[in-house]
Chains A and B, each alone.
Chain A
Amino acid sequence: MTTLVELTGIRKSFGGVHALRGVDFALRAGEVHALLGENGAGKSTLMRVLGGEYVADGGTVAVGDETQNFRSPADALQRGIAVIHQEMALATDLTVAENIFLAEIPSLISWGDLNRRATGLISSLGFDIDPRSTVCDLSLAHQQVVEIAKALSRNVRIIVFDEPTAVLAVRDAERLLGIIRTLRDRGVGVIYISHRLDEVFRIADRITVMKDGASVKTVDRTEVEIGDVINMMVGRSLKALFGEDVERSPGKEVLRVEDLSDGSRVKGVSLSVKAGEIVGLGGLVGAGRTELVRLIFGAEKAKSGRILINGKELKPRSPRDGVRAGIGLVPENRKEQGVVLDFPIRTNATMTKLNPLVNVFGFIKRAKERATVDTLAARLRIKAGDLGDPVSSLSGGNQQKVVLAKWFHADGTLLIFDEPTRGVDVGAKTEIYSLIKSLAAEGRAVLVISSEHLELFGLCDRVLVMREGHLTGSLEPQDYSEEKLLKLAMISTSAPLQQEPAH
Chain B
Amino acid sequence: MGIAMTDLAETGPRRSINISSLLHRYGTFVILIALLIVATSMSDVFLTQRNLLNVLRQISGTSLMAVGMLFVILTRGIDLSVGSIAALGSVISAILIQHYSPGVAIGAAIIAGGLCGAVSGGLVAYLKLPPFVTTLAMMTIARGLSYIVSAGQPIVMGDPGALITSFGSGSIIGIPYPIILMVIVFALAGIVLVFTRFGRLVKAIGSNAEAVRLSGIPVAHYTMSVYVISGVLAAIAGIVSTSRTGVGSANIGVGAELDAIAAVVIGGASLMGGRGGVANTLIGVLVLGIIANMMNLARVPGYHQQVFMGCIIIGAMLLQYASTIFKR
| A positions within 8 Å CB-CB of B | 14-18, 297, 299, 318-320, 322-324, 329, 331, 336-343, 347, 351-352, 354, 358, 361-364, 383-385, 389, 392-395, 398, 406, 410
Verify A337–B211 contact, CB threshold 8 A. yes
- Given A16-B10, A358-B197; A342-B216 close (CB under 8 Å): no
Residues from chain A with a CB closer than 8 A to the CB of B212 are: 340, 351
Pairwise interchain contact B211-A395, C-beta atoms closer than 8 A: no
Contacting residues, chain B, for A18 (C-beta < 8 A): 9
Assembly CA distance A340 to B203 (angstroms): 10
A197 to chain B, nearest CB (A): 31
Q: Is the CB of B215 within 8 A of A319?
A: yes
Residues of A within 8 A of B213 (CB): 299, 318-319
A403 — nearest CB in chain B belongs to which residue? B211
| Contact in complex: A319, B214 (CB < 8 Å) | yes
**Also in contact, A343 and B197, with CB within 8 A (given A337-B210, A351-B215):** no
- Chain A residues lying within 8 Å of B99, measured Cβ to Cβ, are none
Q: Which residue of B lies closest to A294 (CB)?
A: B214
State in angstroms the CA–CA spacing of A319 and B213 once bound together.
7
B50 within 8 A of A: no
**Considering the complex, which residues of chain B in the window 103-139 have a beta carbon less than 8 Å from any beta carbon of chain A?**
none
> How many residues belonging to B are interface residues under a CB distance threshold of 8 Å?
30
Query: Is B10 within 8 A of A361, CB to CB?
Result: no
Known: A323-B215, A393-B11, A395-B10. A336 touches B198 (CB 8 A): no
Check A393 against B12 for contact (C-beta < 8 Å). Answer: yes
Q: A299-B214, A342-B274 are in contact. Are A364 and B207 (CB under 8 A)?
A: no
The 7 A-B residue pairs with the shortest CB-CB distance in the complex, in nearest-first order? A323-B216, A15-B13, A393-B12, A16-B9, A351-B215, A362-B196, A340-B208
Assess the B12–A322 pair: CB atoms within 8 A: no
Q: In the complex, what residues of B have CB within 8 A of residue A322's CB?
A: 216
* Structural contact, B207 and A389, CB atoms closer than 8 A: no
B215 to chain A, nearest CB (A): 4
List B199-220 residues whose CB lies under 8 Å from chain A.
200-201, 203-204, 207-208, 210-218
Asked whether A351 lies within 8 Å of B217 as measured between CB atoms, the reply is: yes
The reply to whether A362 and B197 contact each other, CB–CB distance below 8 Å, is yes
A410 touching B216, Cβ below 8 Å:
yes
**With the chains together, A14 CA to B9 CA distance in Å?**
10
Report whether A320 and B217 are in contact in the complex, using a CB–CB cutoff of 8 Å: yes
CA of A277 to CA of B13, assembled, Å: 38
Contact A338 B216, beta carbon cutoff 8 Å? no
Q: Does B37 contact A (CB under 8 A)?
A: no
Are B204 and A329 neighbours in the complex by a CB distance under 8 Å? Answer: no
Q: How far is the CA of A48 from the CA of B60 in the complex (A)?
A: 54
**B327 at interface (Cβ–Cβ under 8 A)?**
no
Smallest beta-carbon distance B323→chain A, Å: 16
The answer to whether the Cβ of B303 comes within 8 Å of any Cβ in the partner chain is: no
